[in-house]
Amino acid sequence: FGGRLMKKISAGVLMAILTVGLSSARGQGAASDLKSLDAKLTEAFKDRDFKMLGKHMADDYIMIDPRGGVHSKKQYLKHLADGTAKFKDLKETDVKVRVFGDTALVTGLLHIKGKMEDKEISVEYRWTRVYNKKGDEWRCVLEQHTHVHPKAEKKPKAEIPK
């Protein structure tokens, strides 16, 4: 009796370990897939490939811009197509992915150089994108950009008179 019980317990523990291990591996695979997809979408943004962008945005996609404006998928793609922004250089750094089943958060830092309404710009934005997986496809459901203000110059400390 004791031998069979130990075998059942051992089998149960082994199954639990395998399940956790496979789940972790799937999460790492999804993170890698999302990082790759996100890089492709950044290139599509730079290249003004609105078809590619639209394909990977959920129908109820929401964009929150650095000023706090809220835009639908249709409004955001129309804004991009209007052509008021032209980018010379677009680079993402510090990209991190966290996967929670069929939902994922992707964050990073976007460095942009180009023109906005005929003014030269050089800005940085911290961004967050929320993706949801339906079937085999990840789609962005929400995106928010926050302007990173240039670092203030260090000023000498004021001396306190004695």
pLDDT at 23: 40
DSSP assignment of 74-118, as one string?
Answer: HHHHHHHHTT-EEEEEEEEEEEEEEEETTEEEEEEEEEEEEEETT
Query: N- to C-terminal Cα distance for the chain?
Result: 87
Determine the pLDDT at residue 25. 40
Question: Distance (Å, rounded) from C-alpha 24 to C-alpha 16?
Answer: 12
* Strand (E) or helix (H) holding 29: helix 2-46
Q: What is the pLDDT of residue 160?
A: 56
> What pLDDT is stored for residue 9 in this prediction?
57
Helix (H, G, I), strand (E, B) or coil at 6: helix
Please tell me the predicted confidence (pLDDT) of residue 82.
Answer: 83
Output DSSP code: residue 161: P
- Please report, in tens digits, the pLDDT of each residue of the chain (162 residues total): 555 655 555 555 545 444 444 344 445 788 999 999 999 988 888 888 989 999 999 999 999 999 999 999 999 899 888 877 777 888 899 999 999 999 999 999 999 888 877 888 888 999 999 999 999 999 999 999 999 987 744 555 555 555
Q: Is 66 helix (H, G, I), strand (E, B) or coil?
A: coil
pLDDT of residue 157: 57
